[in-house]
Structure formats: C-alpha cells, structure tokens
Amino acid sequence: MNITASTHTHWYRAIVLILAAVMAALLLAACAGGPGGPNKETQAVVAALQTLTAAPCATVLPTETPTPSATVTPTSTSTPTQTPTPTPIIVGPTGFPEDVNPLTGLVVDNPALLDRRPLMIKVANFPRDGRPHNGLSAADLVFEYYIGTGTNRFMGVYYGQDAPKVGPIRSGRLVDAQLVPMYQGILGYSGAFWQVNNAIFAALGSRAIQSSPSNCPAICDDGRGLVYTVFAKTSELTKLSTTLGIDNSRPNLDGMHFDSRPPSGNQPGDQLTIMFNIQNVGEWRFDADSGLYKRWIEDADAAGNLSMIELVDANTEEQLAFSNVIVLFATYQEFAPTLHDVILKGNTTGMRAVLFRDGQAIEATWKAVGWDKPIQFFTADGQPLPLKPGNSWIAIMGNSSYMQQPEPGKWHVQYYLP
C-alpha cells in the first residue's frame, strides 16, 4: 500500500487525540480521587503523564480545531465616472425667459441690459487704416453689406452686453432705415448724405444719433479728426438716449430660434469666403476645438500684395469668432455707384439664405415678417431654423451673387448686383 505524507499526518493526529483523551481522563481521576484519594498506581501513571505533558491538574486538552481555509478578498473594481450629457439649450422663436437674450439664445450676465433698446452702430471696414475694428466681438449680431465701389460696411447690434469702444464709426446707408426699425433699435452713426439722412430720420426720428461734440462721450472723435477716429461707448449711448427722451423700454424681439444640438444630414461647411471685390475679401474658417467660425480678412503690404490675416477685435486683441455665419440673399437697388438700398421689408414669402454652424452648411430661407420684427430664418420645409446659441454674423449679398463649393466643405460667394 502506498502511504503518502498526507496519510502519515492523518494517523499522527489521530494518535495524539487519543492520547490526549486518555491523559485527560486519568488526570481528572487523579485530581478528583475517591473517598481515599487516588491509589498508588494511578498516582504513578499520573506522575509519568505529568512529566511528559507538563499539563496542570484539571486542564483538559482541547480537540484540534481545523485551520479555516484562506478567504480571498476580491480587489475593488472602481466604476468609471461618466461625464453628464449637457442639457441642450432650446429657446425661441417666442417665449424667451426674462434673462435670455432673444438675439443670442443665451442667459445674460446682467438681465437689466435687456430692459432697453438694442444699439445698432455703423462700423467702417475701409480704409484699412481703421483696422482692426473695436467692439465687434461684443455684438450679438453683425450685419455686413455692400456700399459701392467694391467696399462694404458693418453694423454691430449691442443688446445683451456693452462694449467700451465701438468703431471706427462711419455714415449711415438707406438699408439702415429698414434694419434698425426691425430690431426697434437706436442707430449710432457719423451722419449721412442728405437724402439718406432724410430717410433715416423719417424711419427713426430721435432714435438716430449722430456723432457730435454735444453727444460725446456717447459718440465722438478721439481727437485725431480722421475719417476713422470716431468711436462710441454703448453704455453712454444708452444714457444719452434716455436723456434725449427716447422711450427706452424693453422691446419684443421674438423671431429667432436657437438649439444647441447640431442638426444632421447637411453639407460640410468648414470654410466660407465672401468676396465683394478682389481687394475686399472676408473668410470664415471653422475651428473644431471652440465650435466657432473665426474671421480672416485681406491685408495689403506696401507694394499692394494681398494676404489673409486674422481679424482681431482691437478691444480684446483676440480673433473674431462667431457661432453662426449666415449668407442672406436680397435685392439691391443702385441709384449711384455709392448709393444703394436693399429691399428687405415686404419679403413675407421667403428668399434664400445659407447658415453655417458647427462645420455644416444648411440651406434655408429668410423673411421680414413685419416692420418692427427681427428677420426670421426657416428650414427648407418651413420650420424655424435652429441657430446655434451665441452671436451671429449676417452677410447681405445681392440675389444675383454667385455661390459655389469649389471643393467639399469650402464655399465661396462672389457679390453681384442687384
């Protein structure tokens, strides 16, 4: 028979247990004894066992307790932390909360600013000596449009926040007599040709505020006396409008729809080039990290050679970045090479627009639904167009302008009359 080491161990333990039991019994008997106490034989055995075990009297050896099996404690498995999905922002075109700017869809830092009319300030793009512009990054909306001889002009709309310096400010145009009433705004400009000024005053009355020494510091020259040295301070322009007796109560600016969720199923729109003239080029490039479109603009060296550079805000020294860039097609009327109007009012059936947001180009339409209602944008099937919450740049191009996509994601629009 093959006896293993394990078998020897079991036999040894059994013998030890038996001896322990016998010893315990004898010791008890010896200790307890009888009426006469333990006999001599028993005492001899006990003495021998005590010598072997050194067990005290009345101590019973316990039976062996088996060693418990080792318990393996599982290592801790940590549950990965999940990043919560941001709650989407969906507001408009009506029912904006009291602290939400209806021109951006965002909560404003100072809701009291919404209890006033928007300030709509004319900003020159030419001559280039007036660049970089001041304050365009603080505007909720910026309109740009053609003014003749290959040049364009901007109009910044300031409602949800103020800007300490906006400009350089230049003259008004006929289209201002339509745009400013649509947003129930106050126009800040440096004057206009008399026919244009008459049209502006007819539409706005005292809400048309020109630069002059009496209107400083709201709108005034910085002392250099050049065509690009007139600037505005929006907070002062609001104060001046109240001093002039203008009703500056909060207007109803319903009309725009905002949804932070990017739409799907559209064409790529990573870059947009807007050309009014070969010497007048603006470019928007989508920045995936910020989710915004950043602005570039043409610049000329001493020899007249053009290159594209970042367009920054002189107030912040940071590149202009917008959530939405919209190309809006409308009919221009030319009365003279530098005298144009744009037909916005009365477009209730819809004309073409293209929205660029989140790296996509989305076909849309625009409407002017009322004399004192903001321009509204719609999808191809007539639903409110989901703009990305944030600021919007709107380029008004002639409806004969040519828009193409030379390569996927890169769009180019060339201005043409009318």
For the segment 277-299, what is each residue's pLDDT rounded down to a tens digit?
A: 999 999 999 999 999 999 999 99
When comparing pLDDT for 133 and 51, which is higher? 133
Predicted local distance difference test score (pLDDT) of residue 61:
39
Q: How far is CA 221 from CA 173, 181, 212, 403, in A?
A: 20, 26, 8, 39
Predicted local distance difference test score (pLDDT) of residue 54:
41
Predicted local distance difference test score (pLDDT) of residue 64:
44
pLDDT tens digit sequence for 307-344:
999 999 999 999 999 999 999 999 999 999 999 999 99
Predicted local distance difference test score (pLDDT) of residue 81:
66
Residues 6+ apart with CB under 8 A from 250: 114, 115, 116
Segment (H or E) for 13: helix 5-32
Give the single-character DSSP code of 384.
B
Q: What's the average model confidence in pLDDT over 17-22?
A: 37
pLDDT tens digit sequence for 27-40:
234 334 443 444 44
Question: Look-up: residue for tokens 């009345």?
Answer: 58
Does residue 71 have a pLDDT over 80? no
With beta carbons less than 8 A apart as the criterion, state whether 268 and 407 touch. no
Other Cβ atoms within 10 Å of 144 Cβ, number: 19
Does residue 256 have a pLDDT over 70? yes
Q: Which amino acid is at 365?
A: T
CATH 3.50.90.10 domain residues, the chain: 89-418
What is the distance between the alpha carbons of residues 270 and 357, in angstroms, rounded to a whole number? 9
Q: What's the average model confidence in pLDDT over 150-154?
A: 97
Task: Evaluate the omega torsion of the peptide bond into residue 111 and state whether it is cis, within 30 degrees of 0.
Answer: no
Mean pLDDT across the chain: 86
Does residue 43 have a pLDDT over 50? no
Question: Look-up: residue for tokens 């910085």?
Answer: 222
In percent, how much of the chain has pLDDT > 70?
80
Predicted local distance difference test score (pLDDT) of residue 83:
66
Predicted local distance difference test score (pLDDT) of residue 86:
83
Highest mean pLDDT among 11-20, 29-38, 187-196: 187-196
Q: How far is CA 304 from CA 128, 279, 409, in A?
A: 12, 10, 30
When comparing pLDDT for 77 and 27, which is higher? 77
Does residue 406 have a pLDDT over 50? yes
Give the single-character DSSP code of 372.
T
Q: How far is CA 6 from CA 9, 16, 53, in A?
A: 5, 16, 26
Answer CATH for 89-418 from 1.25.40.10, 1.10.3720.10, 3.50.90.10, 3.90.1150.10 = 3.50.90.10
Predicted local distance difference test score (pLDDT) of residue 85:
75
With beta carbons less than 8 A apart as the criterion, state whether 384 and 93 touch. yes
